Amino acid sequence: MARPLSPKLSAPAIADAALALVDKHGEFTIPALAKAMSVSPSSLYNHVTSKDDIIEMMRGRAMGEIQLPQADGDWVNTLRLIAKGYMRSYAKHPKLIPLFTAHTVRDRGTLRVYDHLAEAFATGGFDAVDSLAAITVLDSFVLGSALDAAAPAQVWASTEENSAALNTALEAGLAVQDRAWKTFEYGLEILLAGFKGQASTAPQRAASRK
């Protein structure tokens, strides 16, 4: 019998199978992954050294969907484009978020996304301390927005005990089509405006730390 043109096991195949398990169950184990791929657990270790490796491979698959913009000097729009790509990717796989936030980012492709964010903030005049803080703020916002996209349509209950203001907001806001995405865009523009404001005072903050 002729040998298959490609091996059954490969790093991308393992990442995709693990991703499917997490999308369905919110977690994966090595035995469950091996069973899903119809191989022995030990055979997986010919391609990975640990579960952490698989998590980083999944991170790379998810973040690899982001189209990184060419640097054009418009640092605010660079942030906007990356954040939207990031949101689209993680909104597809919200159950990955708890796994990813519990592990140090090591995947090179993912770190390239953060390279672009750091370069954008540097272009905007942020020093190293403020750049990391701003990256963390943007990261937290996108991850939270991705979780919101996976939330039930009725996120908050409308009850008689609620204030009239809350119930009115629920009635109007929850009826909006694509509410989660539009809310994300609304919040993103607020963040970007805030970053622009921070950029104008970046030199003073940097000087105060010297």
- Indicate if 38 and 93 belong to the same structural domain: no
Query: Are 79 and 178 in a shared domain?
Result: yes
Quick check: 51 pLDDT over 50? yes
135 occurs within a structural domain? yes
Do 104 and 57 form a contact (C-beta atoms < 8 A)? Answer: no
Q: Which domain holds residue 88?
A: 68-208
Residue pLDDT, tens place only, 107-159: 999 999 999 999 999 999 999 999 999 999 999 999 999 999 988 888 888 99
* CATH number of the domain enclosing 2: 1.10.10
Q: How many domains does the chain have?
A: 2
Domain assignment present for residue 137? The answer is: yes
Same domain membership, residue 143 and residue 103? yes
Q: What CATH number is associated with residue 144? A: 1.10.357.10
pLDDT of residue 151: 86
User: Nearest-CA neighbor of 7 among 42, 33, 44?
Assistant: 44
**How many CB atoms neighbour CB 47 within 10 A?**
17
Measured on CA atoms in the order 84, 86, 92, 97, is the torsion positive or negative?
negative
Cα separation, 168 vs 159, whole angstroms? 11
In a domain, 9, yes or no: yes
Q: What is the C-alpha to C-alpha distance for residues 210 and 206, in angstroms, rounded to an integer?
A: 7
Q: Do 99 and 178 reside in the same domain of the chain?
A: yes
User: Does residue 55 lie in a domain region?
Assistant: no
Among the listed residues 40, 110, 87, 92, the one whose alpha carbon sits nearest the alpha carbon of residue 185: 87
Same domain for 92 and 38: no
Structure tokens at 20: 């499917």
pTM attached to this predicted model: 0.86
Whether 63 is in a domain gets the answer: no
CA atoms of 89 and 63, how far apart (whole Å)? 7
